[in-house]
Amino acid sequence: MKNYTKLYINGEWVAPDGEGACQVINPANNQPAGSVPLGNEHDVDAAVQAANNAFLSWSQTSSVKRAEFIGAIAARLNERKEEMGALICSELGMPMSWSVAVQAGMPAGVMASHAEFPVEMELEESAGSSLVLREPIGVCGFITPWNYPLHQIVGKVAPALAAGCTMVVKPSSEAPLNAFLLAEIIDEVGLPPGVFNLVSGPGKAVGEAISSHPNVDMVSFTGSTRAGIRIAELAAPTVKRVTQELGGKSANLILEDADLEAAVTKGVSDVCINSGQTCAALTRMLVPAALYEQAVQIAKQAMENTPQGDPLSDVFMGPMVSEKQRETVCRYIEKGIQEGATLVTGGVEKPSGLESGAYVKPTLFSDVNNGMVIAREEIFGPVLCMIPYETEEEGIEIANDSVYGLSGAVWSQDADKAKAVARRVRTGQVSINGGGFNIVAPFGGYKQSGNGRELGRHGLDEFIEIKSLQLN
C-alpha cells in the first residue's frame, strides 16, 4: 500500500498547505490501496510559480537535452512497469496482465515516441519576406482522469516536455497513486526543478485553481463533457488555450459484407476491456437488419464467455473503478429496461461470487433505437447497445446522430469501401476492420467530444505558439 504525504513542487517533495488525505480504495475488495495528500489553491499557486520560474531556462534548453530527459523517463517507466502495473491494478481494478501491458507499458511507449520531437521546435520556415518560428506556449495545467490514468498524464507531459513547456499536473482522485510514482521517476532522472509539478486534490479546489490561474498559459483536460465545459468557462477570462478530450458514444458500423463473427466478437471485447471505462469504446453496434438476430446471438455468447473476476487472476474484466461508478452504470441499465430495450444478457446484479467488489456483468441490449438514453449518453461501463439499420446510408446517418464524435469503426471485406464509409463518419478516429490503437497517430474528437489532439506529431502542435519575424 502506497501512502504519500507530500506534493512534488519545484523539484522537491513538500508538505501541502491543504489539509487531509484522499483515500484510494481497491475496487476489487473495497480495501485501502493507498492515499495522497489534499492540496489546495495555495499549493497550486506555489506550483504555478515554480513552473513559471523554470520556463525561461527550460524553454531554451537544447532539443538534444530535452530528448535525453524524455528518453530517460521512458526507460525508467519501462523498467518499473511491473510495479506501475500492479499499482494501477490496485487503484483502478484493471486485471494485472492488462494493467502491466496497457496501463504501464503503453505510457512508456508514448513517452519514448516523443524523444524525436524536441528537434522540431528548431525548424524554421519562410513565408514571403517573413521567417516563421515555433515557440513553447508556456506554463501548462493538466487535469487528468482515472480510466487510463498514467497514459492520460504522459499523453500531456511528453509533448509539453518536447516543446519546452513547464507544467502543473492534477491527477484524478480515484486513481492518483501512479502520478506520484511518475513524479518519483522524474525526480530520479534529474529533470530541472519546476518543470514538472504535481498537486493532488479535489477538482473544485485544485482543478478550478489551475484552470483560472492567470499565469497558466494553457489547460489540457481529459474527462466528462460537463467538467470540460466548466474548465473552459474558468479559463475564458484569461483567454488561455484549452484542449479537451471528453466523452464519446462511438458507433461500430458493421456493413452487409463484413465478417460478422469477427466484427461482433471484436466489438464486444472493445466494450468490455477496462470494464467499459474507455471514452472511445464502441458502445453502439450498428448491424444490417437482415443480419441483426444472428449478430445479437454472437454478441450474447461473446459477452457470456468474457472471463470476469479478481484482477489478480487470469481474467479479461475486473471491477468498475468504484462502487459509485457501478451504481451509475446500473442506473443506465435500469433506464434501458424502462425504455423498452431487450436485456439480452447481464443486468444490475453482481456476478456470482463477486459480491464484495464493484463488479458489473457485461450487459447487452437489443431492440435499441438511437433515440433512447442508453444510445445517446455515455454510460462508461460494459454496456453494449445493438441497433439495426436498413440501408448503408441509414447506418451512416445513425452513426453520426450523436452529440459526440470521438471514435468509431467500420467493417467490410472491401477495404476501399470501408475507408470510403469511414471518411463519412464524423469522428476523430475510425478503426477499419479491427485496426488497433496507434500511439503515434493523433487522438481526439469532433463535436462535444472535445477539441485539440493528443499523441504523435499532431499532439505537439497544441503546445506551440507560432511567431513571425518580418524581415527587411
SS3 192: coil
Positive/negative CA dihedral, 13, 14, 18, 19 = positive
Residues 111 and 80 sit within 8 Å (Cβ to Cβ): no
Distance in angstroms (rounded) separating the CA atoms of residues 276 and 383: 7
- The single residue of 279, 330, 385, 462 carrying the catalytic annotation is 279
Catalytic (active site) residue 140: no
DSSP state of 308: B
Written as nine digits, the cell of 232 is 473552459
**CA atoms of 324 and 24, how far apart (whole Å):** 13
**Measured CA angle at 277 (ends 296, 447), to 5 deg:** 90
Distance (Å, whole) CA 430 – CA 418? 10
Q: Which residue do the cell numbers 492540496 mark?
A: 39
Overall residue count recorded for the chain in this entry: 472
Grid cell at residue 278: 474507455
Select which of 91, 174, 245, 462 is catalytic.
245
Distance CA 303, CA 295 (A): 12
Cell of 118: 524536441
With 0-12 / 13-18 / 19 or more C-beta atoms within 10 angstroms meaning exposed / middle / buried, residue 259 is: middle
Q: How many helices (H) and strands (E) does the chain have?
A: 16, 23
Give all strands of the β-sheet with 218-222 in edge-to-edge order: 12-14, 7-9, 196-198, 166-170, 139-143, 218-222, 241-245, 450-451
* Residue 462 bears catalytic tag: no
C-alpha cell read off for 259? 465478417
**Burial of residue 471, with CB atoms counted within 10 A of its CB: 0-12 exposed, 13-18 middle, 19 or more buried:** exposed
- Residue 367: phi and psi, rounded to 5, are 55, 40
Closest of 223, 280, 287, 284 to residue 405, by C-alpha: 280
* Cross-strand partners of 8: 13, 198
Give the integer Cα–Cα distance in Å for 301 and 396: 27
DSSP string over 196-247: EEE----IIIIIHHHHH-TT--EEEEES-HHHHHHHHHHHGGGT-EEEEE--
Residues tagged active-site: 245, 279
